[in-house]
Structure 1
């Protein structure tokens, strides 16, 4: 039996129903998030607040005062909340909102604070998520590279070098949790290949060689990979 062809009115009705279902789902999710945010349980607060701050900021992304307040909240957030609620992920997402609102100075301050946090978290081998934090640190350095590139390409290359250095070099370092961070942040698994490509296309052979040597000395396990790229 042939399928009945839908009329334009039928198609519009189906699309409208789907759109309404999405709106209802988002509304229910927001209501649940607000309830959890208002919960008095400290552990729930630690897990929910970073996400709540970003979601609320995203709703008001054209309001500089609220974005600045959100950035300040992330910059003063304690380590327990940052770790429990993956605050670094939502701080980086808030950084992007600040850039979109042309709040460059506040965005840069938040990025530097997030980098500082991630450097501590990734260096702590007792931290169960230190590899995921290291991978996120690579992206944070990449954001710093992107921000610096228009004004100072040489200095920017040093930040890209840091992003490459923090990129996972072994399967073990490719933390499973990093997949979800990449989905949210639209980041890449590794910045090593891009670093090597930019390095030898920079035109400044002396500086390129210096940065290359620094990179190799800091990560000898990556020599085989670098050799294949170059």
Structure 2
């Protein structure tokens, strides 16, 4: 009986010793796994997240750079167009001023030859160019020639087109609206209106 009890105790002890050894081995295995593979996995996921974040940051920066490039291009194009428009406007003003001067000289030559009808047409065209160029000095001279030397001297035999003359004079009044700020040219325009009216009356009476 005692032998049987000892034998049972020996088997139980062997079982627990074996189980403890297996448990210890499993525990050591788990510790080894945690100590080796967990850091590897952690490092892998960290590196992966860093790569994703880096890619997202690069994409964000690239988009920002592209947007800035587009905005800069638009701004440059806008500024360039403004500069070109300003340059063209200045060139047009210079061209108008030169042509106005040539027409002024032409009108003077025509007056010297008593071609009052043609001189009137030339000086009106010169005045229109002076208005476009903002050349107020030669504009005043042009008005003086038109009012004092051209309109009063037009001869009936020159057969000037009174309707066309009226359209041209009215056009000058309309174009002068911008330059006539503060009524600077009100007196001159009134004189032009009176001179034109006298010319129409004088030539109309002659036709009768």
Normalised TM-score (structure 1): 0.33
Identify the structure with the greater helix proportion: 2
Structure whose alpha-carbon radius of gyration is higher: 2
Q: Which has the higher contact order (CA 8 A, sep 6+)?
A: 2
